[in-house]
Copies of this chain bind each other. A is one copy, B any other.
């Protein structure tokens, strides 16, 4: 078997090139040729690894989510209380160079999935994944005794889920109006609401 090329590395190169194309020119500009040029190879070489455009887009979106999971899951497993939960959820927000870029790319994928059946599955799986993160966050805060006992856990998780997605959307769609500090503060404030208010009853 000659000409051993590291297929995984090659695919990673291509997928990362696709991400850059989306971030710089939008998903509408994604084509075999633009991605191949960005990856520094010929369109034919690209098609050798991803025979069809569906496979290319699907793989790129799945990989994006997988990379984000790699960042978040350790934080989730390390979380023991509200503070840990907040750190974990903050990792999902479009803050920092990498985070903002990733979330913008994800938003483009998610919107594209509305009309592109091939991506819909991953889109819904990812949504379920975020919801599961919110569920776990609530469980952790229940275990630590910080969540207000009068709240329905399922409802609390739903609100965390929606809030994080909303902050993500805002941070991407109108970054000028929502600074990273602002995003983090809104997240913290919401967790404050869900946890027992620190002030005493009058």
Contacts and interface: CB of A to CB of B under 8 A. Distances in A.
Interface of A: 22, 24-29, 104, 107-108, 110-116, 123-124, 127-128, 131, 150, 152, 155, 158-159, 161-170, 172-174, 176-177, 182, 185-186, 189-190, 193-194, 197, 199, 201
B114 A26 contact: yes
**Copies of this chain present:** 2
Contacts of A159: 163, 186, 189-190, 193
B28 A173 contact: no
B111 A155 contact: no
B123 A114 contact: no
A114 B21 CA distance: 12
Nearest to A155: B189
